[in-house]
Structure 1
Amino acid sequence: MDISHQESKSGGRYSATLDGHEAELTYSRTSPRLVIVDHTGVPDELRGQGVGQALAAHAVEEARRGGWKIMPLCPFFRSQALRHPEWQDVISG
């Protein structure tokens, strides 16, 4: 699955398209070292296929590469962070 990234000065989104359906994870950048993940949306057609998990894992890897932290306000992302103790190095709050 290919994940694309669009970024602006104040935030951005990761998106994945599979079988013509797009899922997304959006975030706001509060500082050069902190982003707030505020939404993960997966259409019904893609649910249960690991697309949301892939977007969350991609955001974690990007945070590691970029040296920034993620504050997980999105309920889905927060639940994933709790299930993955190996992500705690980039989770804030």
Structure 2
Amino acid sequence: MGTTFQDAAARGRFELEEDGKLVFADYRRRDGMLVITHVEADPALRGKGAAGRLMEELTKIARRDGLKLRPFCSYAAAWLRRHREHQDLLG
């Protein structure tokens, strides 16, 4: 098995599947922003960097679509603080 990423827009979340396990970020698009409300990983993926890989993909979407990020989720906010290369995306 491998890794797949998708924008599951109908469910309002980004999903990253690794080896049949899921990590996701709930979001809303509003006023040129992606508002990240919740990030959650399957327990089997925790501590393995899967949520960080999801966030990397999420930042690519934000850049591609010219959106800013507003993290209300504590994980997303902490991840963005640690990855200064994405500070320009904060709105």
Same fold (TM over 0.5): yes
SS of aligned partner of 1:17: strand
* Displacement after TM superposition at 1:20 (Å): 2.3
Distance 1:86 1:52 in 2: 17
Aligned residue pair count = 89
Opposite residue 17 of structure 1, the aligned amino acid is E
What are the residue-to-residue correspondences of 1:16-27 with 2, within 5 Å? 16-27=16-27
Could you tell me which runs of 5 or more consecutive residues in structure 1 were left unpaired when the two chains were aligned. none
Instruction: Tell me the residue number matched to 2:6.
Output: 4
Q: Distance in 1 between matches of 2:59 and 2:4?
A: 16
Report matched runs for 1:36-47 at 5 Å.
Answer: 36-47=35-46
Instruction: Give the C-alpha shift of residue 21 in structure 1.
Output: 1.8
Separation (CA, whole Å) in 1 of partners of 2:51 and 2:23:
7
TM-score by length of 1: 0.87
**Runs ≥4 residues deviating over 6 A:** none
**What 5-or-longer segments of structure 2 have no aligned partner?**
none
Structure 2 distance, partners of 1:57, 1:16, is: 11
